[in-house]
Chains A and B, each alone.
Chain A
């Protein structure tokens, strides 16, 4: 009797479980996002691999060409220039965009709210301007004939050099313009980090007789180091990607490839040389490089960063 009852109960439980509906609501809410990300972020990544390994052929099946594109790109003089320039862009952006803002942020941090807010607002402005606008303004200011600087030094009998058409200087102009746009924002990021530092630490150190320099070296920089790491990584990523715009607007990679970088080259492979395979292979190489840079930076900074 009891056994039968239990049997009945179990079968009923099983039937209920089988009939239970799967909750479709999360799927419905996620569907648009997931489909779009799959289609426009992850699928292209796979597609890139394909495009780099095959030669597209309109009238027949695509032909597998193995690592030819990669070897070709790696052997390409333009690619060497671009890789070299990318390293310059990255290494020079560290002192200007990552380290220079630290003392500036500390200065603002020690100021009264009124002046501090004025500086913050002024420094923030370039963040809101498009890189196209920033580039145009600088082209105008640097123009050796009718630029702003020329109109200032012209009356003194001096002639503004043509910085953007000089192989030796063009890349530094672009780095400077990038710094002009980003410095303010990085200062604000540092200020956000500084505001998390407790005044007790500073006061305690003061009581021990520490001067400005000691407080800065021994307290502020160590406590700020996670922020520094963060700013450094985001600046490198920003620099590699966003510098595309000033390159395209100001120099188009020239003169003599002196300002091109890897991203720009990948773009040129596609839209100037119409070489899909090179473009795809180049993009994948950058992807690899980007991963390495970020990993290396993490490891390098890990040693410097103090998590207290």
Chain B
């Protein structure tokens, strides 16, 4: 963080601390409560204490007992991994073409990329839904993955980084006898590892947390992801499901939070810079 640049007067500073503390607490407290509740036995759930007196994993067993939560997790994990992998690869190819080659129509094509960034996918879900049905991909992994493989934001970001890449290195590699894929894999990729890593995290969290598209395109356990599956605990609306619900909430929030606590600084940085460019 930059060194302090503005010295506020003491009373003002105090007000600031109080407001921030309250805000931070309003965020952290519910999360701690969720975590605590997920470890509580059924008879403690409605007690006032934030933390269990008797620690139990029963709620976590129940999550998998009462619903095919393992299947949801597997669907989420597999489709997210495949989708993010595909997004990165396709975006890298496109960004490479934009940054490396001068071809007729490049400007127009790039304008279309920028334009695609402006079109909310929630506006176009209807024709896509009809198309996916026609293809027989309703309620399948393919239906979840394929319509989302092209990621204009990723192309935009990677292109910017590749434009700063020294062009002579492409030529040197070509002279060394590397073909285009080899140049991309052995020369370009190792030099943009940090961006790729950052982008991977952002895309992963984005996809893992996605709600709208899985809601539209999945129906059964066959393809349902955790974000949709968890609603089943809610629909039940029976009191004794609160424990498993909180356990499920904890489970599905864990991957993103784990990455976050592993490398906090970079993650914040990454999200902010992607947010700013997006």
Contact = CB atoms under 8 A, between A and B. Distances in A.
A276 B125 CA distance: 11
Interface string B1-41: 11111111100110011011001101110110110000000
B126 A283 contact: yes
Nearest to B233: A136
Interface in A224-242: 230, 234, 237, 240-241
A133 B31 CA distance: 10
Given A41-B116, A137-B30, A131 B122 contact: no
Nearest to A139: B234
Nearest to A203: B5
Contact of B97 (A30, A131, A241, A263): A30
A34 B8 contact: no
A37 B90 CA distance: 11
Nearest to A120: B268
B144 interface: no
A33 B123 contact: no
B124 A48 contact: yes
Q: Name A's interface SS.
A: helix
Q: Quick one: which of B103, B126, B239 has the most chain A CB within 10 A?
A: B126
Given A30-B97, A180-B27, A192-B276, A215 B234 contact: no
A191 B211 CA distance: 29
Given A25-B180, A37-B112, A128-B253, A146 B27 contact: no
A65 interface: no
B6 A202 contact: yes
Nearest to B208: A130
Contact of A132 (B3, B126, B147, B231): B231
A130 B16 contact: no
Nearest to B25: A122
A89 interface: no
Interface stretch (A3-11, A75-83, A101-109, A297-305): A101-109
A112 B23 contact: no
A183 B23 contact: yes
Nearest to B4: A110
Contacts of A26: 97, 100-101, 103, 106
B268 A36 contact: no
A123 B25 CA distance: 9
25 contacts: A23-B101, A29-B96, A29-B97, A30-B97, A33-B90, A40-B148, A51-B127, A104-B19, A104-B23, A110-B8, A124-B271, A130-B227, A133-B252, A139-B234, A141-B33, A151-B46, A183-B23, A185-B272, A188-B271, A195-B1, A202-B6, A240-B120, A244-B212, A249-B231, A280-B127
Interface of A: 23, 25-27, 29-30, 32-34, 36-37, 39-45, 47-48, 51, 103-104, 106-113, 116-133, 136-141, 146, 148, 151-152, 155, 180, 183-185, 188-189, 191-192, 195, 197, 199, 202, 211-212, 215, 220, 230, 234, 237, 240-241, 244-245, 248-249, 263, 266-267, 270-271, 276, 279-280, 283, 286-287, 290
Given A30-B93, A212-B9, 7 more contacts: A37-B113, A107-B8, A109-B6, A110-B6, A122-B27, A128-B253, A266-B122
